[in-house]
Amino acid sequence: MLDTTNSGGSIQYSGQISATADASGSRSSIEEILGAMSNVDSLPSVSQTDMNPDGGFTYTVTFPTSMRNVPELEVYLSDIPVSISTIENSNLLNGLFRLEYGGQVTDPIPIDADEAQMQIALEDLSSVSQVIVSRSNGDDQNGYTWTIQFLSDENGGDLDDLIVHSEDVSSTSNAGGASVQVVPGGTDGSFISGSFTVEFGKYSC
């Protein structure tokens, strides 16, 4: 049984699974049986160990990342001992981060901040005048990409990169490692420098 009602899904029951079922490759495999459940987005990845000392097998099931955090499967009916445990959760991001520019640091920004929230956080800094922010759609791990354009002459020319403080960003994965990164580059400003000569007739300056 798989209960995804907490994320807007449903409770579904698989077909019967043989104690010696293949991991994949046939209609009676665990991969195909679980993939046929209507609350599973697509075929999971299933691997199988060699036979255990008690004659059984250990199967590892990895669900599609589009399902985000999947509740633990439950044994509904069985005439043999079956145990289930979660090895690793998905890598869903959560928490808050701050951005620094020109020695000024923003208030905490949610990991899923929309364009308006990001714009307000930056424009509240005395070192930033006016910006336009666009945001991508979220990915399967609740990750976003923000594109920030500085508009004011007060922030003209080639700008320093924003500095990220992401110590309060975390992940639901056991492996952790969640962070916010600034991608260097983008489009440089059109700050003009150098000198030129003006000539008129025989005169120049």
Per-residue pLDDT of the chain (205 residues; tens, 9 = 90+): 999 999 899 999 999 999 999 999 999 999 999 999 999 999 999 999 999 998 899 999 999 988 988 999 999 999 999 999 999 888 889 999 999 999 999 999 999 999 999 999 999 999 999 999 999 999 988 899 999 999 988 887 778 899 999 999 998 886 667 889 988 777 776 666 788 888 887 776 6
Burial class (CB in 10 A: 0-12, 13-18, 19+), 184: exposed
- State pTM to two decimals: 0.68
Instruction: Tell me how far apart the alpha carbons of residues 2 and 60 are, in angstroms, rounded to a whole number.
Output: 16
Structure tokens at 145: 């990409």
71-to-9, 87, 125, 177 alpha-carbon distances in Å: 11, 12, 42, 22
Instruction: Tell me how far apart the alpha carbons of residues 11 and 38 are, in angstroms, rounded to a whole number.
Output: 9
